[in-house]
Amino acid sequence: MWPFKKKMETPRVPPEPTDAMHAEAAKAPNGWVYVIDGNFGPNDAVPPQRIVGAWKVDASGKLTGEYQANHNYVRSDS
Q: What is the pLDDT of residues 16-31, one digit of tens each?
A: 999 999 999 999 999 9
CB contact at 8 A, 29 and 57: yes
In a domain, 5, yes or no: no
In a domain, 50, yes or no: yes
pTM: 0.77
In a domain, 53, yes or no: yes
Domain count, the chain: 1
Q: What is the pLDDT of residues 38-55, one digit of tens each?
A: 999 989 999 999 999 999
In a domain, 37, yes or no: yes
Q: Which residues pair with 51 in a beta bridge?
A: 36
Q: Which domain holds residue 49?
A: 19-69
- Within a 10 A sphere around the Cβ of 43, how many other Cβ atoms? 5
In a domain, 76, yes or no: no
In a domain, 12, yes or no: no
Q: How confident is the model at residue 75 (pLDDT cuts 50, 70, 90)?
A: confident
CB contact at 8 A, 67 and 35: no
In a domain, 7, yes or no: no
